[in-house]
Structure 1
Amino acid sequence: MSLINPADSLERQNEKLIRIAASLMRHVEHGTAQSGEAYAQFERAALLEKRVRERTIELERTLNLLHESNSQLARANDETEDARRNLADAIETVSEGFALFDGDDRLVMCNSRFCRDFRDTVRDLRPGLAFAHYVERVSRSRHLFLPEGISAAEWCAERLRKHADRRAMFNVRHGQDRWLQVSEHRTANGGTVVLQTDVTDLIRLERQERLKLKDKQTRMIRATLDHLDQGVCIFDEHGRLVAWNEKTGTLLNLPARRLHLGASFAGLLERVEQEFRFSDAGDREAFITWAALGGHRGPIHFELMRDTGAIIQVFGRGMPDGGFLFSSTDVTAEREAARRLTEVNEMLEARVMERTLELEDALSAAERANASKSRFVAAASHDLLQPLSAAKLFISSLSDRSQSPGDRAVLDKAESALTSAEQLIDALLDISKLESDGLNFDIRPVALREILGPLRDEMEVLAARKGLRLRMVDSSLTVETDPSYLRRVVQNLVGNAIRYTAEGTVLVGVRRAGGAARIEVRDTGPGIAEDDQSAIFEEFHRLDSGASANDGLGLGLAIVERACARLGHPLGLWSEPGRGSCFMVSLPVLGSVAPKRAASPTPARPAGLAQAGLIVLLVENDPQLRRAMTVLMESWGVNVIEAENADGALELLQDLEITPDALVLDYQLGAGMSGTQLFGEITTRLGRLPCVIVSADRSVALREACDGLRIELLSKPVDRHRLGRFFDAVVRGGIVAV
Structure 2
Amino acid sequence: MPASLLNPNDSAERQIEKLVKINGALMRRVEQATDVSGAAYAQFERAALLEEEVRNRTRDLEHALDLLNESNARLAEANRATEEARSNLANAIETVQEGFALFDPDEHLVMCNSRFGLHMPDIRDRFRPGITFRQYVDLVSGSQYLSLPENMNPADWAARRMKRHQDDHVIFNVRMVGSRWVQVSEHRTPDGGTVILQTDVSDIMRLERQERERMLDDQARLVRATLEHLDQGVCIFDNQARLAGWNQRVGAMLSIPARKFSMGTRFFTLFEGFAQGSSYSSGITESDIRDWITTSDSRPPISFEIQQGQNKTLAVHAQEMPDKGFVISFTDVSAERAAVRAIQQANELLEARVAERTLELADALTEAERANASKSRFVAAASHDLLQPLSAAKLYMASIEPGQDAERLHQIAEKARRSLDSVETILEALLDISMLDSGKAEVHRAPVPLGVILTQLAEELGPTARAKGLELKVVATSAIVLSDATYLRRIAQNLIGNAIRYTRTGKIVVGARRRSKSVRLEVWDTGPGIHPEQRDVIFREFQRLETAASAAEGMGLGLAIVERACALLGHPLDLVSSVNRGSGFLVELALAPAPDFTALSRRRTPPDTTPGLDGLIVLLVENDAELRNALTIALENWDVCVLPTSDATEALELIRDEGIHPDAIIADLQLDKGELGTDLLSDIRAHLGPVPSCIITASRSPAVIDTCVRHGWQLFHKPVALDTLRNFLTTAARTGAGTCGH
**TM-score of the two chains, using structure 2 as the length reference:** 0.34
Higher Rg: 2
**TM-score of the two chains, using structure 1 as the length reference:** 0.34
